[in-house]
Homo-oligomer: A and B are copies of this chain.
Amino acid sequence: MKTMERISPKAYRSDGFAGKYQELVRKEMIPYQYRVLRDEADNTERSGVFSNYINAGKALRGEKAEPFYGMVFQDSDAAKWIEAAAYSLAAVPDSELERETDELIDLIAAAQDEDGYLDTRFTISDREKRWTNLLEAHELYCAGHMMEAACAYYESTGKRKLLDVMEKNAEHIYRRFIEDGAEGYPGHPEIELALLKMYRAAGNSHCLELAKHFIDCRGVDPGYYEKEKEKRDWFVWGNNPVDYDYQQNGKPVREQTDATGHAVRAVYLYTGMADLASETDDRELFAACRRLWESIVNKRMYITGGIGSTVHGEAFSVDYDLPSDTAYSETCAAIGLMFFASRMLENEVNGEYGDVMEQAFYNTVLAGIQLDGKRFFYVNPLESLPGISGKAPTHRHALTTRPGWYACACCPPNASRLISSLGQYAYGEKGNTVFCNLYVSGDVTFSNGMKLRCETGYPYDFEIRYIVSGEGIIGIRIPHWSEKYTINKNGSAISPEINKGYVYIPVSDGDTVRLSLDGTPRFVYPSEKIPALSGKTSLCRGPLVYCFEGADNGGDVISLSVDPAEEVRVGEYDGELLGGTRRLTAKGYRREPQKGLYSSSAPKKTPCDICAVPYCLWGNRGENQMRVWMDIR
């Protein structure tokens, strides 16, 4: 029993802060990726996605086909693009974009084998290798992404051609893994959460059964990948099949306790698990999800909502190993954490999940995107040190400025689909109650008939006004960081009780509910168990983590320390600064340069103002020092 139902992609129209990002996705990222997929973009490597589908179609028809091009999971780029396009079309109709999408869907349909198999890598050639390398070949991963795309396009446009293709594909997989009893589970989880979307969109119970199968068989035989490897004479990267923690298959998922391994894979898996738990009212599975959630948020997550702290395998490290300068903290992993949090909300309405959703969104997800929508961070360190970052052997991954689109770019299209569908995270509903999980200005229409118009300058202002059409109950999350807040209904203060981070307010047609949160900047302190952060503090305002960049501080932030006892000044909203933001100004000190590497003379410090900008906007002014966690005094 879901405690909260997802709203339709068509139910929300954004404006304001989120709207600006949605426009960037619509006007820059979706069109640019389209050119990439067609190998028509400048300044990027060949993608081959369109041509792979064309060639797979030819191969099926017995025509001469060019070889497959790209990564083994190249098809997933088409899927993520379609999904982003679908959500974008739901919000803003665009007949040209719809035509382009239909055209790509036609190519995909023509690349599907008679038996329902769909993966250009093993359709153009190497047919005999199908399903022989679940560890690395990502067939189930690609299928999952295309299922998500199919559901999104169907829900957004009502067109079911791709949904039919993917239902046929799901039946193919069902036959293999359920009816024929083939062993194995996905090397890269993703299809689990996608099958649950298929189950709801297409009403196909085989999809539910298959999702449950892949979740429940995972780790029952931890040695599956080893056996698989012994049987085949080929590999993709030659991954070691015995790293159970890395593969999240050391134990059945219901017995797992720590978030381990490749961070994106982990949270995609946990998302599927949480979705299945609410869908089937499986409290044991939810308890496992809750343990894994706590492992992440209590021991393995950056203050930016970033996860997967080590570059080695793009993975979770051990508890409390959260270095700033060598952080991996992949954009996609933060997106996956939002997926997981949203599915947890469907098991239990608890403000904690919304808190983490916005922590990941406003900090790591948005940090991934350059203001012009043309360059992207895959890796999101919390400290950037020109001269060391990107150069030292341990910091090669920690680039100081965003690189352009990669040939097979996971993070940019993942961010596109997330941002385009933000309404599905911001809102939820259940019976006559509607839930406001995030504060996003715009209009939303619920299936129970209620409509809300939300007006706010969030995350830079902390007044959120809801104008109600229809009647029912509004559940609004009160964030953990806002100790003080006021609520006002039609001009009168009200004091509804907080229940697990939400207030519930009965409303009638024409009501206005106004929530005022506390926008006072606050210093945040890390747990004393995180060695890399001892003695440090960070500056936050609302959901935004701020950072200190050289550009605002005379080049050098490493020699600065802040004084948290002094008041922090909130700057006026400056439309010219970093696309529009507010600067914060703290009091602190600058160390004077010291002679030699080590000195017995205590450093001289001069009081000074220290400026901070939102972390999500860092690196938009060229290479410079950046630091989130500052020394104290």
Contact = CB atoms under 8 A, between A and B. Distances in A.
Interface of A: 297-299, 301, 303, 310-313, 315, 317-321, 323, 325-326, 383, 385, 387-388, 391-395, 481, 483, 522-532, 534-536, 538, 540, 556, 558-559, 561, 564, 591-594, 596-603, 631-633
Contacts of A317: 388, 392-394
19 contacts: A310-B393, A312-B394, A313-B393, A315-B393, A317-B393, A321-B392, A323-B394, A522-B600, A523-B600, A523-B602, A526-B598, A527-B596, A527-B599, A528-B558, A528-B591, A528-B592, A534-B559, A535-B561, A633-B633
Nearest to A481: B600
Contacts of A315: 393
A556 B530 CA distance: 12
Nearest to A297: B597
Contacts of A540: 600
A559 B535 CA distance: 8
A525 B598 contact: yes
A564 B383 CA distance: 27
Contact of A525 (B297, B530, B534, B599): B599
A298 to B, nearest CB: 6
B558 A534 contact: yes
A310 to B, nearest CB: 5
Contacts of A320: 387-388
Contact of A393 (B312, B530, B598, B600): B312
Given A317-B393, A528-B592, 7 more contacts: A310-B394, A311-B394, A318-B388, A523-B602, A528-B559, A528-B603, A534-B558
Contact of A527 (B303, B388, B561, B594): B594
> Lowest 9 A-B CB distances belong to which pairs?
A535-B631, A312-B393, A528-B559, A317-B392, A321-B392, A528-B591, A522-B600, A321-B388, A310-B393
Number of copies: 2
Given A320-B388, A596-B298, A632-B535, A564 B602 contact: yes
Contacts of A528: 556, 558-559, 591-594, 603
Contact of A602 (B392, B525, B593): B525
B388 A531 contact: yes
Contacts of A591: 528
Contact of A536 (B313, B394, B535): B535
Given A387-B318, A388-B320, A392-B321, A525 B312 contact: no
A558 B536 contact: no
Contact of A598 (B388, B395, B527): B527
Contacts of A536: 535
B326 A394 contact: yes
Nearest to A591: B528
Contacts of A594: 525, 527-528
Contacts of A298: 596-597
Nearest to A600: B522
Contact of A299 (B303, B310, B597): B597
A563 to B, nearest CB: 12
A499 to B, nearest CB: 20
Contacts of A392: 310, 317-318, 321
